[in-house]
Chains A and B, each alone.
Chain A
């Protein structure tokens, strides 16, 4: 093939151009620390990268939901713990009142204390977490234990903790508390805590020690009920914590998978860049040597 000056210049220009282009590509990857900077870098992996990114965001949300749910349940558990303490204290007072040796003043003192504790139970029933009344069902904006009636409902506060996995974070306490008046819609005793306390106070005030003793049974049953609610909470907390741990593990593996797909391997790129630089320098040097001589240099 006949080689002209133009061919040599063209070739040199073309090859220098593609060398610098390759270097720019490697440099972009090093600067962004990403293998895939635009869709065309690797369309095959792009779909996976986008899905993994979505999964990471999704998991973050689930982990956030789980944290929220756990705090909510912790508040409920603490409230029920408080409630158990109150119930235990009332039980002690009941045993004391059933003694039969109390005079009317001391019975009245006991009745007064139970009354104060009843008010405390109202406070417990109206405990809120993040501006939400935790025992109000889905009617979270209203204190469930009002003046007249229990305004909470049996609705559950559900949240998603995994794709398609929902969990209720509240528990229905209507059967434990009952109406604040202790009476149901028809005016009959509803068997709630307030009902129990009202009847107990009436019995204590009347000084009927047998009747007072008979209340102990109802008292124990209520404490058992509360404990069973606590065990539900405990089980749910366990479930959520288990799930949270799994989500966090999954998050780590998702992130490492994502990193494997889209993060640049710096060591490899550094070597590539070095190689490319060498090639570039070599072609520059060779170009300088090839382009230079001409017959004219040798003619006098």
Chain B
């Protein structure tokens, strides 16, 4: 019995030494949990007879290794996974926001703000020197620079969006690889546990994978009796026992990926974590399965949209004024009494046709080819005898320059049909105004007593009718009619004005096809709008940076608490090493003692009478 006790002690202490060695070897292994041999006293020897040989009852039989355990606090694991999900989210958002911030490039002397400033400045210079070819070409150059800045920023943001999209694809593959590894580990863990052993190192590997996976997305984990885990993500079990479900992507016509389940092809609702952040940055796809109202933050699409809105406002406002002006080439116009200003920036027939103004914006080629086509004058530049008469008039250029300060609330609509070929001398008919969410009111125009001499008189007559309309005046809507070249333009500063629904002048020969009222920025100047865009990017970036910093500290602290429980302390292990070595030595000495006892019994006892 004594020899057996000694042997057990030697074996168990050796096991403890081996485990200590294992701990020391893995002191720097990521995800490693220190292990400890759970030593317990072996079952005591009990003699049932009343007069037992020793007389005191049970005898100890040495030590037994109950199990080798991981020293781990699962509550800390839970916290770490929750916080690192948040860390993954904010880190990724911060990454994206920092790039948007670089693209926005404010404050700087080369950002959009200063390019816009230079554009308005060029118009100021044109006000002073409208006859100068050199100043005119500066306006063209500044206009081109402005358009190109918009184009460039739009391109950069679009590139950022596609990069984010590509990144999303990579993350999905990473998640898939983790899912498969987790399933394989589940199988291995099962195989070990059914054999009644502790698969400590496999569990470490699994827990590390779970830590990494929790950075990616919102997951919840449960463990069964055999140490196999079930992982849930996006409302489905991605790993369950030896089964798993992987992710896949569906791609829309813009190349944007929507995350789907590989087996069903249905959209996987994944939020938070790195993937959630990428989705928030990139925004939703245009696939039918995505809701019309996005569930994501749409950070990059929002920046693109704001840029486009600003571009649209600059285009529409500049064009509207520019069209009502007279260029220096007005003598080539059929009737120089009408303004011949073209669109300064390209404008489609229907402004709703353009989705991305920041990409669309471009100075009209008529203007880039001949700077004299810039309309700086608000009165005719050539007189009725075809003599230049008003080249020094820069009053329209001044109006355009003043757009810099103007609060943009003008809503306008222009007839796309020209009236120049029509006889307007005795126009009569009706036009219908839409306002305040679908209400309409019709204005009738009687034939004039004296024939209209020109379009201005017709516009004045329509204006008088509009001003007299009680429906409009009681709704607080005032509409201005202007001649826009040989077309009519209706403008209002009231947001209730929704456009001219129907025009039936000229006794049935209606001129229709009105260009629609577009969005554009309202109630703020272009400069202030851009400043608020830049500052909101700044605020978001600041928030992301603060959150990411906080989460880093939090996760680090939790990591430290985990280390505090599970980490290998070399000092401790060295001390253990000495402890177990001493115990081993003592056990060996114990065996020697038993050996000597046996020697005494066998060799020295009963030698009397030999």
Contact = CB atoms under 8 A, between A and B. Distances in A.
A2 B567 CA distance: 9
A224 to B, nearest CB: 28
A46 interface: yes
B1 interface: no
Given A61-B121, A157-B394, A7 B567 contact: yes
Nearest to B121: A61
B216 interface: no
Contacts of B569: 2-5
A141 B392 CA distance: 7
A50 B107 contact: yes
A20 interface: no
A255 to B, nearest CB: 14
A88 interface: no
A160 B392 CA distance: 15
B390 A158 contact: no
A43 B101 CA distance: 11
B52 interface: no
B556 A2 contact: no
A58 B120 CA distance: 9
Contacts of B124: 61, 65, 159-160
A299 interface: yes
Contacts of B575: 295
Interface string A56-88: 011001001100110000000000000000000
A145 B527 CA distance: 45
Contact of A138 (B118, B121, B129, B390): B390
A10 B556 contact: yes
A47 B106 CA distance: 10
B9 interface: no
A54 B111 CA distance: 12
Nearest to B405: A163
Contact of B570 (A1, A5, A61, A140): A5
Contacts of A296: 570, 574
Q: Most chain-B Cβ atoms within 10 A of its Cβ — which of A5, A131, A166?
A: A5
A75 to B, nearest CB: 14
Interface in A220-260: none
Contacts of A47: 528, 531-532, 534-535
A65 B125 CA distance: 8
A247 B536 CA distance: 32
A55 to B, nearest CB: 10
B560 interface: yes
Contact of A51 (B391, B527, B572, B578): B527
A44 interface: yes
Contact of B107 (A36, A57, A160): A36
Interface in A1-31: 1-7, 10-11, 14
Contacts of B539: 40, 43
Interface in B113-155: 113-114, 117-118, 121, 124-125, 127-129, 131-132
B33 to A, nearest CB: 12
A50 B530 contact: yes
Interface of chain B: mostly helix, strand, loop or mixed: helix
A4 B405 contact: no
Interface in A139-174: 139-142, 151, 153, 155, 157-160, 163-164, 166
A153 B574 contact: no
Contact of B564 (A1, A53, A58): A1
A201 B124 CA distance: 47
Contacts of A42: 538
Given A2-B565, A6-B28, A131-B132, A160 B402 contact: yes
B200 interface: no
Q: Most chain-B Cβ atoms within 10 A of its Cβ — which of A6, A137, A142?
A: A6
Contact of A132 (B389, B392, B561): B392
Contacts of B213: none
A151 B382 CA distance: 12
Given A2-B565, A51-B527, A61-B124, A139 B389 contact: yes
Contact of B113 (A10, A53, A141, A158): A53
A68 B129 CA distance: 10
Interface in B235-278: none
A294 B24 CA distance: 13
Contact of B568 (A4, A50, A163, A166): A4
Contact of A295 (B389, B404, B571): B571
Nearest to A38: B101
Contact of A294 (B536, B571, B578): B571
Contacts of B532: 47
A262 interface: yes
B527 A54 contact: yes
Nearest to A57: B117
B113 A50 contact: yes
B541 interface: yes
Nearest to B122: A61
B531 A50 contact: yes
B320 interface: no
A53 to B, nearest CB: 7
B37 interface: no
Given A138-B393, A139-B392, A10 B563 contact: yes
A258 to B, nearest CB: 10
B208 interface: no
B117 A6 contact: no
B527 A50 contact: yes
A132 B131 contact: yes
A153 B534 CA distance: 47
A39 interface: yes
A156 to B, nearest CB: 9
A49 interface: yes
A75 B603 CA distance: 139
Contacts of B535: 39, 43-44, 46-47
A155 B390 contact: yes
Interface in B537-593: 537-539, 541-542, 545, 552-553, 556, 559-561, 563-565, 567-572, 574-575, 578
Contacts of A141: 131, 388, 391-392
Contacts of B574: 294-296, 299
A38 B99 CA distance: 11
Given A46-B107, A155-B379, A296-B570, A54 B117 contact: yes
A4 B542 contact: no
Q: Most chain-A Cβ atoms within 10 A of its Cβ — which of B101, B392, B572?
A: B392
A267 interface: no
Given A47-B532, A65-B128, A58 B545 contact: no
B104 interface: yes
Nearest to B398: A160
5 contacts: A6-B563, A38-B101, A39-B107, A46-B535, A132-B129
Smallest CB-CB A-B distances: 6 pairs: A39-B538, A140-B392, A43-B538, A4-B567, A40-B541, A138-B392
Given A53-B113, A138-B391, A153-B390, 8 more contacts: A38-B541, A40-B541, A51-B527, A136-B392, A138-B379, A138-B390, A295-B575, A296-B570
Interface of A: 1-7, 10-11, 14, 36, 38-44, 46-47, 49-51, 53-54, 57-58, 61, 64-65, 68-69, 130-132, 136-142, 151, 153, 155, 157-160, 163-164, 166, 262, 294-296, 299
